[in-house]
């Protein structure tokens, strides 16, 4: 496989790892088109998106029958990557209309869960939604240009990031990042983290495009997150817990100190960070370790694991999502399982049934990344 010394941010060259293993451009493009169609336009067995009225739309968590800020921000990132402005604007208008909070402790953030009719099920945010919203909005601004609010994408992104950093400074409220260690929190009013929320490649771009007074914060946050992931990922297995303390040790106070659903995203995030920035050779080591850990396991037998790799009886709820993120780690990996991880992904169809939402979001991101189509859009 081809190894590129500098990241795509510097070269504007993106690896097409599917082509590197011999898949034709036509087959790759057909898979991307078909996957988008099934998720956004397909039948009740595959679709996770729905139009709402004349100009809005939402992503459905099909396992919980709600709309989550995570999924909405994912849908926006998918739409901007694939140049679908109509779907992007529909999702963003639904989000801004129904999820944005204008009062209380979390004013300026987005409610993490709503009913399908737009009524809020929760009045707290989930930071993984906010960070994806911000970068998707920046990319939309750069790709399509800004319009009248709420489609003044760039200002919306900058304002959101300002809230994430400064909320609570003038009174009630909480920032989403700890102001001292620059680490993202699981929720604003707690003091621990979720390793899968750490997106240093996003923060590098926030450091360029946020308000000038916030840019140094985001540069430090990128460095802090890369250092944190080294602490949170097990040195032998590469597995990370769902929740972790600021020193990287698993936070099992509520039973989330093991490798399970949230944790799957860590491998994908590290792969994309390496593809975009090539900032830390440790990411190569990590990708190799996690692919090695899963090399002798079949998707139908994936389980919950301690970070040391000890299996529980409880099987994975999202095996397709897990194999997709392990394949996306190949963007950084140079070990013996980089190719086979991609081949397993390519041979696996999208998931159908009630639990398909999370798996297929991770699936489409992996498909974009491994085909060289998860890109940075510059001003």
How is residue 297 written in tokens? 């396991």
Catalytic residue among 70, 130, 214, 273: 70
pLDDT value for 171? 81
Binning pLDDT at 50, 70 and 90, where does residue 284 land?
Answer: very high
Burial class of 163 by CB neighbour count within 10 A (0 to 12, 13 to 18, 19+): buried
How is residue 201 written in tokens? 């490649």
What predicted TM-score, i.e. pTM, was given to this entire model? 0.97
pLDDT value for 2? 52
As a whole number of Å, the end-to-end CA separation of the chain is 31
Number of neighbouring beta carbons within 10 Å of residue 91: 29
Task: For 267-347, list the strands marked E by DSSP.
Answer: 303-305, 311-315
Cβ-proximal residues to 312 (8 Å cutoff; 6+ apart), any chain: 258, 303, 304, 305, 306
Q: How far apart are CA 216 and CA 224, in angstroms?
A: 12
State yes or no: pLDDT of 355 exceeds 90. Answer: yes
pLDDT value for 3? 53
Burial class of 302 by CB neighbour count within 10 A (0 to 12, 13 to 18, 19+): buried
How is residue 53 written in tokens? 């009225």
Binning pLDDT at 50, 70 and 90, where does residue 345 land?
Answer: very high
pLDDT value for 181? 98
* φ, ψ (nearest 5 deg) of residue 251: -100, 100
How is residue 87 written in tokens? 């779907």
Catalytic residue among 131, 242, 262, 359: 262
Task: State mean pLDDT over 234-252.
Answer: 98
Task: For 112-240, list the strands marked E by DSSP.
Answer: 113-114
Examine the residue annotation and report whether 5 is marked as an active-site residue of this protein.
no
Task: State mean pLDDT over 294-310.
Answer: 98
Instruction: For residue range 227-240, list pLDDT tens digits in order.
Output: 999 999 999 999 99
How is residue 82 written in tokens? 């694939």
Examine the residue annotation and report whether 301 is marked as an active-site residue of this protein.
no
Say whether the peptide bond before residue 287 is cis (omega within 30 degrees of 0).
no
Instruction: For residue range 169-208, list pLDDT tens digits in order.
Output: 988 899 999 999 999 999 999 999 999 999 999 999 999 9
How is residue 8 written in tokens? 């795509």
């Amino acid at each position: 496989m081809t190894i590129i010394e500098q990241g795509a941010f510097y070269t504007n060259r993106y690896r097409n790892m599917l082509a590197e293993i011999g898949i034709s451009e036509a087959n790759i493009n057909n898979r991307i088109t078909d996957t988008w169609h099934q998720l956004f336009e397909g039948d009740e067995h595959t679709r996770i998106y729905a139009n709402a009225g004349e100009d809005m739309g939402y992503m459905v968590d099909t396992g919980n029958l709600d709309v989550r800020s995570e999924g909405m921000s994912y849908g926006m990132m998918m739409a901007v990557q694939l140049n679908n402005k109509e779907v992007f604007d529909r999702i963003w208008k639904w989000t801004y209309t129904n999820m944005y909070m204008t009062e209380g402790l979390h004013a300026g953030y987005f409610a993490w869960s709503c009913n399908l009719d737009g009524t809020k099920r929760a009045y707290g945010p989930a930071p993984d939604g906010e960070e994806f919203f911000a970068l998707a909005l920046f990319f939309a601004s750069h790709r399509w240009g800004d319009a009248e609010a709420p489609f003044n994408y760039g200002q919306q992104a900058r304002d959101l990031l300002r809230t994430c950093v400064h909320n609570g400074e003038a009174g009630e409220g909480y920032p989403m990042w700890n102001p001292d260690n620059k680490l993202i929190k699981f929720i604003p009013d707690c003091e621990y983290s979720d390793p899968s929320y750490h997106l240093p490649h996003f923060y590098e771009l926030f450091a360029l495009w946020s308000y000038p007074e916030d840019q140094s914060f985001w540069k430090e946050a990128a460095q802090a997150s890369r250092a944190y992931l080294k602490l949170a990922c097990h040195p032998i297995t590469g597995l990370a817990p769902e929740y972790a303390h600021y020193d990287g040790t698993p936070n099992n106070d509520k039973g989330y100190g093991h490798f399970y659903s949230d944790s799957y995203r860590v491998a994908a995030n590290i792969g994309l960070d390496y593809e975009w920035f090539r900032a830390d050779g440790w990411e190569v080591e990590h990708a190799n370790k996690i692919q090695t850990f899963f090399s002798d396991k079949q998707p139908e037998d994936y389980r919950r694991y301690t970070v040391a790799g000890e299996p529980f009886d409880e099987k994975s709820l999202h095996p397709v999502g897990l194999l997709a993120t392990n394949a996306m780690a190949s963007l950084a990996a140079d070990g013996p399982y980089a190719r086979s991880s991609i081949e397993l992904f390519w041979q696996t169809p999208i998931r159908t049934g009630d639990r398909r939402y999370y798996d297929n979001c991770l699936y489409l991101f992996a498909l974009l990344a491994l085909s060289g189509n998860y890109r940075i859009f510059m001003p």
